[in-house]
């Protein structure tokens, strides 16, 4: 069960890890000496840091979902135990909440 999701999640995990690595690398790049350029770079860094945080969070969710597949509880809502609809899992393979609980949080 959930072989497709597992494959999808693994692929996603690789992509996210790659993206994180790339962001880290560009954040480590040395700033330009020209202050105008440096200012633009600082702005870019802020954007990158935002993306970095978001991507790391996504990666955690993906890892968590993979764990749940291995534990055999994938597809069950973490909050109420209801079955998460396959449609929802298809769109968001790393979700751990059914639509009702997810909406309750938001
Ligand atoms: Zn639920």
Q: What is the DSSP string of 34-84?
A: SHHHHHHHHHHHHHHHHHHHHHHHHHHHHHHHHHHHHHT-TTB-TTT-PBP
Where along the chain do its domains lie? 3-76
pLDDT digits (tens), the chain, 106 positions: 788 899 999 999 999 999 999 999 999 887 788 989 999 999 999 999 999 999 999 999 999 999 999 999 999 999 999 999 999 998 999 999 999 999 998 7
| Nearby residues for ligand 1 (ion, Cβ within 5 Å) | 77, 79-80, 82, 98, 101
pLDDT given at position 29: 84
Q: How open is the CA angle 85-17-32, to the nearest 5 degrees? A: 135
Give me ligand 1 centre to Cα 82, in Å. Answer: 5
Give me ligand 1 centre to Cα 43, in Å. Answer: 40
């Amino acid at each position: 069960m959930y072989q497709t999701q597992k494959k999808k999640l693994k692929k996603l995990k690789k992509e996210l890890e790659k993206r994180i690595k790339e962001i880290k690398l560009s954040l480590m790049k040395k700033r330009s000496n020209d202050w105008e350029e440096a200012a633009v770079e600082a702005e870019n860094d802020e954007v990158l840091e935002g993306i970095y945080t978001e991507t790391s969070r996504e990666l955690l969710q993906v890892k968590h979902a993979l764990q749940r597949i291995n534990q055999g509880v994938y597809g069950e809502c973490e909050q109420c135990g209801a079955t998460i609809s396959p449609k929802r899992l298809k769109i968001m393979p790393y979700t751990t909440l059914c639509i009702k609980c997810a909406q309750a949080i938001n």
